């Protein structure tokens, strides 16, 4: 039985709207849940997430005025599992490499801030300097780096369950891969479920 752990980005990835031919996030979730339901009932697949990720997904749906019946179905087909008390073995190497990467990123962010300050001192519109600093700082310190508790929980849950992690988050996928967890992006996830379901029909 194949298990999947769903990350927030697995649902909110904007490419899914084009894939499903819909315009609203709740319609993406509705299509997702239809595929999950069929995959669980016909193939025995199971789908999990953490409380923090489920809260994030529901928050996105509520803010986009998703129908209550769609939101309520999330808990039917996606099982929520708390990992706060989970005991898993993680190689020390993973933490050492992560801390070294965080330090490298912070140093890079400091250089970005210094350069931005120099440019601001030369003149120009302060709002533009701030926007540029935000973009460059985020690029230097966060892109491709695990940077949230929710993401770490998703990686730990996938490790605990021996599940495939569904995410388009580069930093989360890098960390998960170091833990021995297989990652697939949302589009591949959808196509995988559809392919398995098509094989069942042909059998």
Q: Decide if pLDDT at 56 tops 80.
A: yes
Residue 45 near residue 4, CB atoms below 8 Å:
yes
H helix and E strand count, the chain: 10, 5
Helix (H) / strand (E) containing 150: helix 149-161
Single pTM value for the model = 0.83
Q: Decide if pLDDT at 132 tops 90.
A: no
Maximum average pLDDT range among 85-94, 95-104, 115-124, 184-193: 184-193
Q: Residue 20 has what pLDDT?
A: 93
- How far is residue 54's CA from residue 150's CA, in Å, rounded to a whole number? 10
Q: Residue 28 has what pLDDT?
A: 92
Cα dist. 4→23, 36, 187, 192 in Å? 25, 10, 14, 11
pLDDT band at 22 (very low <50, low <70, confident <90, very high): very high
- How far is residue 185's CA from residue 3's CA, in Å, rounded to a whole number? 15
Cα dist. 176→43, 56, 82, 104, 155 in Å? 25, 20, 18, 20, 5
pLDDT band at 143 (very low <50, low <70, confident <90, very high): confident
Q: Residue 27 has what pLDDT?
A: 93
Q: Decide if pLDDT at 203 tops 70.
A: no
Q: Residue 141 has what pLDDT?
A: 67
Average model confidence (pLDDT) across the chain: 87
pLDDT band at 189 (very low <50, low <70, confident <90, very high): very high
């Amino acid at each position: 039985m194949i298990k999947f752990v769903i990350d927030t980005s697995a649902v909110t990835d904007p490419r899914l709207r084009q894939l499903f031919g819909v315009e609203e996030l709740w319609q993406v979730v509705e299509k997702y849940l239809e595929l999950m339901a069929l995959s669980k009932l016909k193939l025995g697949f199971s789908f999990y997430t953490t409380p923090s990720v489920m809260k994030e997904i529901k928050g996105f749906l509520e803010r986009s005025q998703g129908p209550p019946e769609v939101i309520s179905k999330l808990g039917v087909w996606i099982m929520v599992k708390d990992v706060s008390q989970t005991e898993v073995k993680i190689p020390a190497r993973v933490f050492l490499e992560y801390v070294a990467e965080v330090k490298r990123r912070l140093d890079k962010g400091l250089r970005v801030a210094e350069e931005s300050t120099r440019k601001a001192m030369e003149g120009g519109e302060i709002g533009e300097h701030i926007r540029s600093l935000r973009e460059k700082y985020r690029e230097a310190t966060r892109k491709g780096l695990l940077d949230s508790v929710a993401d770490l929980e998703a990686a730990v849950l996938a490790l605990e369950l021996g599940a495939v992690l569904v995410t388009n988050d580069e930093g989360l996928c890098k960390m998960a891969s170091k833990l021995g967890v297989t990652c697939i992006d949302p589009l591949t996830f959808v196509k995988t479920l559809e392919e398995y379901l098509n094989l069942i029909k042909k059998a």
